[in-house]
Structure 1
């Protein structure tokens, strides 16, 4: 399976290099928030101190990057379903999990490149984070990205339709993103809203990221964020692999 995964990863990376539009589009939204919304946030809550504001704002944008960058991968899968490419791969002698794992490795590389661009821009604007905290934040993003990619591929294989997938994602993602606290910490709102947010999945990596940026490695949110994202990643990847196996009959 390792050999097949590596082969599919190489194939997907070559295809990505021929059409690098999706990585750029996935990075555009967080960068625009960083450039246009973060200064407003700094002026409102931190007396214009961009460095302190980015310690709170940047983790949410990194989580948003991991989610939106990985979720868009499902649309390409639907195109391959309609063209018959994925069905031919699914019935080939190759390991079926490798077909999806190769794509997820590509998504992870793309996410790390996007994160590097975002972080460089953040450092220029005054963001500061320690090396250990930065590495842990990137690992948390990888776990979040794998969870989102698994959900995207599973949903694509279940719906087999771009419109249906887009409608479901819009219906589910908007409230979850608002409750994640990516734009504004939920602690700024009423207590009941923060309690509701605690039971949503994206709230936890956002809070874990903020604890890491603050250098508070012992914060329980850090452990909780990793546990929840890794657990959900295992579930969504299993779901997408089962969907591919059903496709192959």
Structure 2
């Protein structure tokens, strides 16, 4: 109970800080909204090609857009932590009688909340453009995206405290994020890719998330990619969480 109370206090602090400048949350919607408005319609002419997921371009791309947001949003959250580290906030937490789990859990929880709000708004925009997904599948997809956001947010904080440099963190994340995006089937389904690319994509956990989210949107709950993706993300989230907490302890 003590850990929950401390985490809640720090979580509320993060939410209140975001209310001072809520425009940043909306700015995070600009890029995925552009993809949805200007790229997804381009997929309709090729949606009849053999191997393309059923349901048309919008039903194929919106789940990919959700995963795209799940990658690029939480993955860059470490920059805010570096600002708090330089301001001395982490040093002040060191003398506070709180659990070392409370601060990273509150940060990760806040990042997941922001991500879910943004993803829900994007799904609503897609529905206005004609998307008709399975509602149960959408809810399960949000849970999967939340796990993904927690995993990448924890990794970002651990990397930030390890590198302790905005320039180094930016270079590392830029190098990492582009291959993750291209080999996940976000822009185009991997079923259209050459065999070699599909084999390489098997080591990318986000490729399973994209395939599972598309199956959920279609209402195909018997797809084997769904439990595989949930299990993979759950394990990765636990590992990343322990990594982040261990990284916070020296900083605190």
TM-aligned CA deviation for residue 197 of structure 1: 0.2
Alignment partner of 1:96 is 2:100:
yes
C-alpha RMSD of matched pairs (Å): 1.5
5 Å matches for 1:1-249? 1-46=3-48, 52-248=56-252
Q: Distance in 2 between matches of 1:157 and 1:21?
A: 27
TM-aligned CA deviation for residue 45 of structure 1: 2.8
Q: Distance in 1 between matches of 2:85 and 2:41?
A: 43
Q: Distance in 2 between matches of 1:244 and 1:56?
A: 39
Structure 1 residues 46 and 34: CA distance shift in structure 2, 3 A: farther
TM-aligned CA deviation for residue 94 of structure 1: 1.1
Structure 1 residues 4 and 161: CA distance shift in structure 2, 3 A: same
TM-aligned CA deviation for residue 132 of structure 1: 1.1
Q: Distance in 2 between matches of 1:163 and 1:6?
A: 32
TM-score (norm 1): 0.95
User: Do the aligned partners of 2:25 and 2:118 also contact (CA within 8 Å) in 1?
Assistant: yes
Greater mean deviation of Cα atoms: 17-26 or 229-238: 17-26
SS at match of 1:241: helix
User: Do the aligned partners of 1:46 and 1:53 also contact (CA within 8 Å) in 2?
Assistant: no
Structure 1 runs of 4+ off > 6 angstroms? none
Q: Distance in 1 between matches of 2:147 and 2:154?
A: 11
SS at match of 1:111: helix
Greater mean deviation of Cα atoms: 3-12 or 96-105: 96-105
**Residue 52 of structure 2 corresponds to which residue in structure 1?**
none
User: Do the aligned partners of 1:64 and 1:182 also contact (CA within 8 Å) in 2?
Assistant: yes
User: Do the aligned partners of 1:9 and 1:103 also contact (CA within 8 Å) in 2?
Assistant: yes
TM-score (norm 2): 0.93
Q: Distance in 2 between matches of 1:22 and 1:159?
A: 25
Aligned residue pairs, count: 246
TM-aligned CA deviation for residue 108 of structure 1: 1.6
Structure 1 residues 238 and 22: CA distance shift in structure 2, 3 A: farther
Indicate the structure with greater helix content: 1
SS at match of 2:220: coil
TM-aligned CA deviation for residue 46 of structure 1: 4.3
For structure 2, list consecutive stretches of 5 or more residues without a partner in the other structure.
50-54
Q: Distance in 1 between matches of 2:45 and 2:156?
A: 36
